A and B are shown apart, each in its own frame.
Chain A
Amino acid sequence: MTTIMENPEKSTVQPTGSVMVIGGGISGMQSSLDLANSGIKVYLVESSPAIGGKMAQLDKTFPTNDCSMCIVSPKLVEVGRHKNIELLTHSEVKSLAGEAGNFTATVVSHARYVDVDVCTGCGLCELVCPVTHKSYFPKPPGEGEEKKKIRAREKNSISGSSTIVPSSLSKWTFTVSEDDCSACGLCFRSCLQEAITWQKKEKAVIDQDKCTGCGACFTACPEKFSAITISDAPELEKSLGAAVNERSLVMRKELAEDGDCIRCGLCVITCDKVMEIGALKMVKEGIEAGVDICQVCGGCVSVCPVGFLDIKSVGNREPRLLLNSFNEELDGRKPVNIHYPQAVPRVPTIDEESCVRLNSGACGTCQSVCGVGAIHYDHLETEKEITAGSVIFSPGIEVFNAQARGEFGYGLYKNVITSIEFERFLSASGPTSGTVIRPGDGSHPRKIAWIQCVGSRDHSCDRDYCSSVCCMYAAKEAFIAREHDSSIEPTIFYIDMRSFGKNFDDYISRVKESNVRFVRAMVSRVFEDPVTGDLELRYVDESGERQSEVFDMVVLSVGLQVSRSTKDLAATLDIELDRYGFAVTDHYTPLATSRPGIFVGGAINGPKDIPETVVEASAAAEAASAGLAEARDSLVTVEKLPQEREIKADDELRIGVFICHCGTNIASVVDVPAVMEYAATLPGVVYTDKPLYTCSQDSQERMKEIIKEHRLNRVVASACSPTTHEPLFMSTLQDAGINKYFFEMANIRDQCSWVHGGEPELATEKAKRLTRMAVANAAAGEALQEMEFDVDGRLLIVGGGIAGMTAAVEAARQGFGVWLVEREAELGGQLLKLKRTADGQVFDEYLRDLKETLLADDRIKVFTSSEVIEQSGFVGSFESEIMTPSGAIRTVQHGAILVATGAEEARPGIYGLGEVDTVMTQTDFESTLEERDEEEWRHARVVMLQCAGSRDEEHLPYCSRVCCNQAVKNGLRFKKMYPEAQIDVLYRDMRCYGLGEIEYRKARMAGINFIRYDPDTNIPEINAGENGVEVTVTDPSIRLPVNIRANYLVLSTGMKPRDAEELASMLRVPRNEDGFFIEAHAKLRPVDLPSEGLFMAGTVHGPKSSGEAIAQAQAAVARATTILSRTSLKMSGVVSTVDPTNCAVCLTCVRACPYGIPFINDQHSAEINPALCQGCGICVAECPAKTISLGRFEDRNIAAKIESYCE
C-alpha cells in the first residue's frame, strides 16, 4: 500500500502555524511567498548574505530569453517586504529537533557587522573602503605588549617616468602645534619641498606658501607627539580614511588616470595612519615601499588618484585579490560589500578574513562614514530558536568542478571557462558589464565552443545522471552571445540534444537559425597553444573521422551537483539522500523526504530548470502546509490601518516634498539643498525637507509626524527607484491616514546622480525638473479605492485524472470544499491505461487508494460523466454550471478554478498502427506486457521506434518528454520478465533527463540495443505485417546498415492534449498552437493561467510524467490556497473604469484588451471588472470616445508631467 498522505498520523497536539524554509533561491522564495500568502508564518534561512540564489546570477532565461534579474527582482522585493516572512540571511540551521507539526530548530546567524534593521543600503561603506586584497596582517601584539610598527628592511623605490610635479589640488593645510612639538626635526627632514623651518631645540614651522600638502611631515612626526594637525580637509571630522577618500575622489575627477606620481601623499597617509603599517615613504624620485612589511591590503593603490602605484611593487608577498563570489570570482570586491546590486536585503556584510579593522584594529573608515550608525565591529554570531510545523529544504545546487575533467584544461588554460562564468560575462551587471571577452588576454573571441555533459552522464566521475538544463542553457548562451556580438561563431558539441520541455525544440530551431552550429560529438581533449592562448579541440565526427578544430575560447557546460555542505545539512536534518546527494522521495509523494514533516523543493530533488523548480517549490509549500491547515493564521501579523482622512478634489493643495541625500549617493552629485529650495517655490508645496536617508526607519516615523503636523495631502519623494521604494513610502502614507495614491516619486538617484556624476550642475537641474514633474503629477492625483471582494473558499477542478484527483484530495486537506468534474464515467484519466511507475509500483493500486480517500471525504463533491458548460464571475467569486449525466444543471460557487483536463496518447495512422496486430503504441505495450501469455514473449524480438509521429510537422511537432523514459521503463521491465527477449530502440535523441539517465544506462547494460536514426539522413525502413516486422536502418555506431526481423513494433507516439477548445474559450484562457494551455509566465508562474484565480495542473500544461503531474497538482493547490485561504481579496486601485455617458459601444476596448476583460453590459455600455483588470491602460489609449480612465495614469496626470517638463 502506498501512502497518499504526506503528513504523519494525526496527533492531538495543535501544530505550529509556521514553516521554516531553508535556502533562499528561487525555490525557497516561491515556497515562502505561497506559504506567507496563505496565512502561514515563514522563517526563510539563507546561508549567503542575500537571497536570490543561482537565478540571480543568470543573464537570460530559456526559452523566452527573459532577462533573469528583471523577472526575479520583483520576487526578491516581495519576499524582503513581506510581513510574514522573517528573513534570516547569512545564517545556517545547526540542529532540528521535534517532529512533524512541531519542530524546533536552532539557527546560527553569522556576524554580519552591519545592522540589517538600521542599514539603508546606500552602499557608501563599500565605496569608501580602501581595501581590495586579503592582507598579510602583522602579528598582533602579545599580552601586555604595545602595538608597534615594524621597520622595513627591504625597500623598493618606485619612480615615475619624469620628475615629480607636486599637485596641490584640494590641498589640506598642515600646521605644527607648538604645545606638542618636541623639536625633534623629523618633519623637517621628511619635507621634500623645503617648506619647514627648524633648528635644533627649536620648534618646527611650516611655510604655507611652499607647502604642497603632501603630509610627509604628518607621517614623519612621531606618534607620541602627534604635533602636526590637519585642517581644510573635508570629511576629516568623520575619519582620516574618509578624508583621504574624499580628496582622492575630487582629484580623480580632475586628473588623468594613468599619470605619474603627483606627490599628493594619500598613499603614505593611508598606509601609515589609516592602516597603521607605515610601509610607504615619499622620496625624491617617487615612493619608497618597505616591501617586507607591506600587508598587501591594496589601500594605497585604491586611494591613488592617478593610478601610479601597482600592488605588485609595494609588497613582496603575492597579492591575494578578494574575489567576488557572486561574479564567480571573475573580479574583485571590497571586504565590506553588498552581495550584488539588486540584493535583498540590500545590506552589506563585512568579510572577516580581509577586513583590516576586524583583524588589526586599524582603519574603521566604513563605520565613520555610515550616516545611520549601522556598522558594528563588535557583532558576534547569534543563535536563535525557531519553532515550525514543517520544514522545506530547498538548498539548491552548485556546479560541477570542471577541474575533475582534466582533459579540458579548466584551471590551466585561461580561455577555458565554465558556463556559469560565461553567464556572468553576458550579464550587464557582471565583471565585464556584458562584454564577452577572452579571460586570457581580454580580446573579443570569435570562435567559441561549448562542450556539453561536463560532469553529467559521466560514470567516470560518479555523475551518472543528466543535469537536465545544460543543453538549453548552452543554446541560450550561444544565442545571446551572438546577440551581443554578431561576429561570434558558436559551436555546441553534444551527445543528445535534450530539449524536452515546453517550447524547447522551437527554441533550438531558432538558435540554429541564428547561425549556432551544433556538432554531435564528444570532445576528447583540449590543447592550448601557449603563445596565442587558442584552443585546439579533438573529436570524432559522425562519419567516424578524427577531427581537430581551433577555437578562441571554450565554455564547459558544467552539470549540477549537490554540495558537500548541503549533504552535511541533510544529515543534520536526518533526511535520506541518494548516492549523488539528491533527496530520496517517492513517485507519489514527490516532495516528501524520508523524515515526516520535511519537504524538498527544487534541484535537491533532482536536477531541474527554473519553471520545474517553481512548480516543486509551490508543491512543497502545499505539502508542508496541508498538515498545518488548522493552525493557519495563528502566527501571522495582520496589519491594522488607521481611518483614512478624507481629501476632497477642491481642498487646498498641501504638498510635502522630501529630497533625499541617500547618504552621499545623491548629495555628492546633486545639490540637494538647492533642489529643496527650488521645490519650495513650486505651486502647492507647503513643506520641504532633505533627509539624509528618506527611507530609514526614523525618517519614515518623522514623515508620518510631518504629514499629520502639516496636514499634508500630497507627498513627493525625490529619491531612488519607485520599483524598490514606492511600496514603503505608500505604506507610510497609509499609516499616516492618507490614501496611498497621493504619493509620487521622482528618481533622482538611479536616473540622475548615478549616471551624471561628471556633470553635477546639469544633474542638479535635472533633479529639479524631475521633482517639478512629480509635484505637478501629485497635484493632479486623486484618492483611489482598492476594492475588496469576498472570497468563496471552494475550488472547482475540471478533469479527474491523476492531477485533478490529487488536487482534490490536497485542497480538502487544506480545508477547502472541492467540486471535481470529470467528463468520463470513471476517475483516473490516462493513468488507467498505464501500469507501473519506473520503480515498479503498480498504478492501479495507487489509483484505488486515491479514489477511496477522495470519495470518503465529504468536502469533495465528484461529478462524473459531467461537464462545465457555463462559467462567470471573477477571482474569489466564480459561478459555474455543471451538466450532469441526467441532463440536470447544477450551479456551483467557488473562489478559484483548476484546469486539469489532461492529455492522451496520440494514435497516428502510421506504420500500420490500428491495422496490424504486430504494431502497437508504447502504452499498449505496457499493458499487453502485463497481460499476454508468457510463452509468446519469451523469445520475442521487439523494435521500439521513438518519436513516431512526434517532433514531426505532419503529426505532433513537439517533443512529448515522457516517451524516452517510458521506452526505457518498458524495455527494462520486459528484459526483467524475459531475459532472453530482444529489444532494439530506434531513437533520435534519448531524452532521459535528470535521474532518468540512470535508468537509460541500466537499459544499455541490460543489453537493450539503441540505434540512432535521423529523419533527414538515416530514415529507418519499416515494414510491418501480420507475420512480423522488418526494419532496415544504418547503425551509426558501426556505420553499417542493419536488418532487424522482429515480432512487434512498438511506437512511441507522444501525447496530445484532450479536446478542451470549448473550455478554453469559456474560461477565456489561451492555448498554444499545439493545444496546450499557456501559463501566465513561462518561468515564474508555470501553473497560473493568465486570468486571476485560474490555475492548471498536469498534462494540460504540456506532456509530463505522472510524478510531475502530482507535483504540479500540489503546486496548483498551493497557488489556489493563496486565494481560498482569505476571507476577502483587495485589488489594486490602478484599474480602468468606463464612464458610460460617452460610451458608443464601439467594442474597441473589447478588442484591444489583451486579457479580454471589457464586456458590454445590459445598460449598453462597455464595462471593465476591476477585479480582473491588469491596469496596463491599453484600452484607455485606444478608446476613441476617451471615456475610459486609469487611476494614476489619467490624461491629466500625463499632461501635467509633460507640461511641467517643458515649462
Chain B
Amino acid sequence: MLPCTGRIDEALLLKAFENGADGVMVVGCLEGDCHYVNGNIRARARVERVYGILETINIGPDRIRMYNLSAGEGSKFAAYANEFVEQILELGPSPINVARTSTDGITSQEEAA
C-alpha cells in the first residue's frame, strides 16, 4: 500500500521482478481523479518506462500493467486481478524464476547425489 502510485519508481518495480515476481500490477486512482492531482499520470509514465526495460532484459513488457480504479469498484478490481493473473499464467513463470529454479534444481540434484 502506498499513499499514491506516484510514490512508486522504476527501481522498486524492477525489484519485485528481481525478487521473483512473475507479474506486477500497479493500481491507481482513475485518471483525472488522482487524490494527489497527477501522481497516477506520473506512475503511468514510469510503468511505461519499465515496459522498455523489461523488453530489453527479455522478461517482456506484458508482465507489468497499470490499472485505474475508484475506491468504490471492488468487483472491478477483482475482475482486473483475475484478468491479469490469467495473462501471467499464460506467460508462465518469469525467466528470472525459470533460471533460478533450474539452478536450484541442479543444486538439489547435486546435494542428493
Q: Which residues of A contact B (CB under 8 A)?
A: 59, 64-67, 69-70, 427-429, 433-434, 722, 755, 1134, 1152, 1154-1155, 1174-1178, 1180-1182, 1190, 1193, 1195, 1198-1199, 1202-1203, 1205-1206
Contacts and interface: CB of A to CB of B under 8 A. Distances in A.
Contacts of A1175: 3
B12 A1177 contact: no
B113 interface: no
Contact of A1182 (B35, B36, B42, B78): B42
Interface string B11-26: 1100110011100000
Interface centre among A1177, A1180, A1203 (most CB of B within 10 A): A1177
A755 B70 CA distance: 18
26 contacts: A59-B72, A427-B72, A428-B73, A428-B75, A429-B72, A1154-B37, A1154-B38, A1154-B39, A1155-B37, A1174-B36, A1176-B4, A1176-B6, A1177-B6, A1178-B7, A1178-B36, A1181-B7, A1181-B9, A1182-B9, A1193-B3, A1195-B12, A1202-B15, A1202-B21, A1203-B15, A1205-B16, A1205-B19, A1206-B21
B63 to A, nearest CB: 14
A63 to B, nearest CB: 12
B65 interface: no
Contacts of B38: 1154, 1178
B2 interface: yes
Contact of A1178 (B4, B12, B15): B4
B4 A1199 contact: no
**Shortest beta-carbon contacts, A-B, top 8:** A1177-B7, A1154-B37, A1176-B36, A1206-B19, A1178-B6, A70-B71, A67-B72, A1181-B9
Nearest to A754: B74
Nearest to A435: B75
A81 B1 CA distance: 23
Contacts, number: 89
Nearest to B37: A1154
Contact of A1181 (B15, B46, B71): B46
Contacts of B19: 1202-1203, 1205-1206
B3 A1134 contact: yes
Nearest to B74: A428
A427 B71 CA distance: 12
A434 B3 CA distance: 27
B15 A1154 contact: no
A1176 B7 contact: yes
Contact of B42 (A59, A67, A434, A1178): A1178
Interface of B: 1-4, 6-9, 11-12, 15-16, 19-21, 33, 35-39, 42, 46, 70-75, 78
Contacts of A59: 72
Contact of B75 (A66, A434, A1176): A434
A69 B70 CA distance: 10
Nearest to B19: A1206
Given A1181-B6, A1190-B3, A1193-B3, 10 more contacts: A428-B73, A1152-B42, A1154-B39, A1174-B36, A1177-B6, A1181-B46, A1182-B42, A1202-B21, A1203-B15, A1205-B19
Nearest to A433: B75
A1199 B75 contact: no
Tell me what chain B mostly uses at the interface: helix, strand, loop, or mixed.
loop
Interface centre among A64, A429, A1174 (most CB of B within 10 A): A1174
Nearest to A1090: B37
Nearest to A1070: B37
A66 to B, nearest CB: 7
B12 A1199 contact: yes
Contact of A69 (B9, B33, B72, B78): B72
B33 to A, nearest CB: 7
A1178 B8 CA distance: 8
Given A1190-B7, A1199-B15, A1177 B2 contact: yes
B81 to A, nearest CB: 10
B71 to A, nearest CB: 4
Contacts of B2: 1177, 1193, 1198
Contacts of B37: 1154-1155
Contacts of A1180: 7, 9
Contacts of B73: 67, 428
Contacts of A1178: 4, 6-7, 36, 38-39, 42
Nearest to A434: B75
Contacts of A1199: 12, 15
Nearest to B9: A1181
A1177 B39 CA distance: 9
Contacts of B71: 67, 69-70
B3 A1177 contact: yes
B73 to A, nearest CB: 6
B46 to A, nearest CB: 7
B7 to A, nearest CB: 3
A70 B3 contact: no
Nearest to A1178: B6
Contacts of B16: 1202, 1205-1206
Nearest to A750: B74
Nearest to A1190: B7
Contacts of B78: 755
Contacts of B35: 1176
B72 A70 contact: yes
A1199 B2 CA distance: 12
B42 A1181 contact: yes
B101 to A, nearest CB: 14
A1202 B11 CA distance: 12
Contact of A428 (B6, B9, B72): B72
Contacts of A1174: 36
Contacts of B6: 1176-1178, 1181
A75 to B, nearest CB: 14
